[in-house]
Amino acid sequence: MTVERDRDREWWLRVPAVLLAPRSVFGALRDESRDDQDARAEPVLALVLLAGAFAALTSGTAGGLYDDPIYDGPLVVALWVVFAAAFTGFAGYFVVGGALYLGTRGLGSEGNFRRARHIVAFALAPLALGLVVLLPLELAFFGGDLFRHGGSDEGAAGTVLAVLEGAFAAWSVGLLLVGVRTVHGWSWWRSLAALSLVVLFLAAFRYVF
């Protein structure tokens, strides 16, 4: 029991560590033992939900919620965020994880689907950080205007917000590249090729569905 608690604590500590020392964290994902994969489950769930909330709140849909009379108060918006975070997070987790699994398998990886999903989950850490750091600042400056068109968050302010949100997303993509390279021990070019296959799979998925 003590060993299990220690392993769980190690993986929780790796959640913030992936932002500063990603190679050591992704290197730990090479351990595909059942106990180690189970120990990652709760940190992975937290990352997926937080990243899903960030993606939902920075979407165009969220930017117009108060324009719809159905969303007439913070409580209704909060409920929407909960459901949108779960849907967005898990859809991205399984779809992008599946695309990464297929892309890396196509280049010779022998890793399983679960490990591919965990690489994606830890690569989402910047989006989780964005929810904790960026969104509170946006709410403090713009309040309810974040959820309506034509508010104070548009114009120059909207451009700044888009750049900041894009920076967190780019950070996440960069971590995904580092994760693929570290876990598989590949070159940068081979890792980029794997991500290119991920993009192709996602484009095909979007086209079909």
pLDDT per residue as tens digits for the range 27-60: 999 988 888 888 999 999 999 999 999 988 887 7
For residue 107, pLDDT beyond 70: yes
Report the pLDDT value the prediction gives residue 52, as an integer from 0 to 100: 92
Report the pLDDT value the prediction gives residue 209, as an integer from 0 to 100: 59
Whole-structure pTM value: 0.88
Report the pLDDT value the prediction gives residue 78, as an integer from 0 to 100: 77
CA distances from 133 to 23, 30, 55, 163, 193 (A): 23, 30, 14, 15, 32
Supply the mean pLDDT for the chain: 85
Domain segments of the chain: what residues? Answer: 2-13+23-208
What percentage of the chain has pLDDT greater than the value 90?
44
Highest average pLDDT, of 28-37, 38-47, 75-84, 195-204, comes from 38-47
Per-residue pLDDT reduced to its tens digit, 3-24: 677 788 999 999 999 999 999 9
CB 184 within 8 A of CB 192: no
Give the integer Cα–Cα distance in Å for 116 and 39: 16
How confident is residue 140, by pLDDT bands cut at 50, 70 and 90?
A: confident
Report the pLDDT value the prediction gives residue 50, as an integer from 0 to 100: 93
How confident is residue 137, by pLDDT bands cut at 50, 70 and 90?
A: confident
In 3D, which of 90, 112, 91, 106 has the Cα closest to residue 183?
Answer: 112
